[in-house]
Amino acid sequence: MSTKQKIIAGFVALVVLFVALLLWRRSPETPATNAPSASAQAPAASATVPNSAERAATSAAQAGASASAQPLATQKPSSELKRTFEALNDNPIEFYGRALDQYGEPVTGAEVTGSVLYNTGVKSGRKVASTTTDASGYFRFSELRGQTLGIDFKKSGYEFNPRNTLFSFSYFEADHKRHIPDPKNPVIFTLWKKQGAEALVHYNKTFWQMPADGTPVKINLATGRIGDTDADMIVSIARTPLRMRYGERGYAWNATVEIVGGGLIRVGEQDYYNLAPESGYMPRFEHVQESQSVRDAQSEKIKWTWHGEVEDTFLVKSLDGRRYARVHLGISSSCRQTNDADASMSMTVWLNPSGSRNLEFDPAKAIKPTP
């Protein structure tokens, strides 16, 4: 056999192997369509006897024509795969918990809802179970099956923050993320006992023009006015470069929020908003954004983490405890509405002017500050 024939034979063999792999991947559960008749596939008669390479090419062409005439069926999961998925993802759920109030006292007779998400590989959905806490605040869920369990509470006179109360029982999760039930170590949930809404100063400032050169701006939280002598919040924003067009990105900037005669606490997802703590306040909050190159981010030399604004909620103690408030701040390092040397800020305030730490809000009791 010549070198050329060897090359052709090798190429044809690769084609045959590729087609065979495609045919092998067809589902055994799906019957193949009828193959074309032999007469339709037979090569035309030839006066010369084909060599081995030509015979292989003819066979590959026939196999390719047959494969193209029969589209591959979608492969269905086998019963063994379904059983494996179900064993890993649809598991018995046993859960032990306890409900306490913010003072550590048990919450008796609270309605507890358990929402189970299930996925067996064949069907999926949501099931709901319920129980109540006993005299010591304990409760239990059992004889359930599923992937995750979400917990919620309901009792008159109490509030519950349902964030981060989803527990996984799926073996698709890493071991440290999968919940392991322990009757001797129940999960503790805090239900906040309401004190009753008091009259709160409440307002929403959707836009404040702010200097972007670091000049401190003094704000009276009780009135929402800038420059008052009784100001209890000081905000400063600095940007480099100072002057720029709106829409520029990647520049360095920072913002500082200070509280006069007190401090502030950044509220987390699981914190209770309606009762300001007595202690634990920091005198200032600072946000620092370093500069980043837009060009480097576009060429994927760096990971783009730059943001031109920051938004957060704080619990505030000011004027040596004479005021407690919940403040939602939005600070932007640029300003669309004014000139190229400004920044901007928005603020929503719930403030108790009586000196009480109670921040439960009733719109019917809201106090609007005088402009």
* Tens place of pLDDT per residue across the chain (371 aa): 544 444 444 544 544 454 455 454 444 443 433 433 333 333 333 334 444 444 443 444 444 444 444 554 555 666 776 667 666 777 899 999 999 998 899 999 999 999 998 887 778 899 999 999 999 999 999 989 988 999 999 999 999 987 778 999 887 788 888 899 999 999 999 999 998 999 999 999 988 899 999 999 999 999 999 987 789 999 999 999 999 888 899 999 999 999 999 999 998 765 788 999 999 999 999 999 999 999 999 998 999 999 999 999 999 999 999 999 999 999 999 987 666 789 999 999 999 999 999 999 999 999 998 76
Per DSSP, the three-state class of 120 is: coil
Q: How far out from the chain centre does Cα 11 lie? A: 51
For 325-350, b/e burial (b = at least 16 CB within 10 A) is bbbbbbbbbbbeeeeeebbbbbbebb
For the chain, the residue count is 371
Question: What DSSP element (H or E) covers 362?
Answer: none
Q: Are 255 and 229 in contact (CB under 8 A)?
A: no
Q: How far is CA 101 from CA 15, 270, 296, 359, in A?
A: 72, 14, 51, 17
Question: What DSSP element (H or E) covers 22?
Answer: helix 3-24
Distance CA 176, CA 342 (A): 47
What is the number of other CB atoms lying within 10 angstroms of the CB of residue 262? 21
Q: Are 315 and 277 in contact (CB under 8 A)?
A: yes
Q: Going by DSSP bridges, is the β-strand pair 91-100/187-190 parallel, antiparallel, or unpaired?
A: parallel
Q: Are 354 and 360 in contact (CB under 8 A)?
A: no
Q: Going by DSSP bridges, is the β-strand pair 263-266/309-318 parallel, antiparallel, or unpaired?
A: antiparallel
Angle at 255 between CA 249 and CA 259, to 5 degrees: 165
Which tokens belong to 205?
């400032």
Which tokens belong to 191?
């239900």
**CB-neighbour burial class of residue 176 (10 A; exposed 0-12, middle 13-18, buried 19+):** exposed
Per DSSP, the chain holds a count of helices (H) and strands (E) of 5, 19
Closest by Cα among 327, 202, 347, 203 to 273: 327
Q: Are 89 and 124 in contact (CB under 8 A)?
A: no
Distance CA 45, CA 25 (A): 34
Angle at 192 between CA 271 and CA 264, to 5 degrees: 35
Which tokens belong to 239?
């940007």
Closest by Cα among 79, 359, 365, 28 to 199: 365
Q: Are 136 and 188 in contact (CB under 8 A)?
A: no
* 168-176 LR contacts (CB < 8 Å, sep 24+): 169/91, 169/92, 169/93, 170/88, 170/89, 170/91, 171/87, 171/88, 171/89, 171/91, 172/88, 172/89
Where are the chain's structural domains? Answer: 82-193, 201-365
pTM of the model: 0.64
Beta sheet of 309-318, edge-to-edge order: 201-211, 342-352, 323-332, 309-318, 263-266
> Tokens 């004027």 correspond to what residue?
319
**CB-neighbour burial class of residue 104 (10 A; exposed 0-12, middle 13-18, buried 19+):** exposed
Handedness of CA 31, 34, 38, 44 (dihedral sign): negative
The CATH superfamily of 82-193 is Carboxypeptidase-like, regulatory domain (2.60.40.1120)
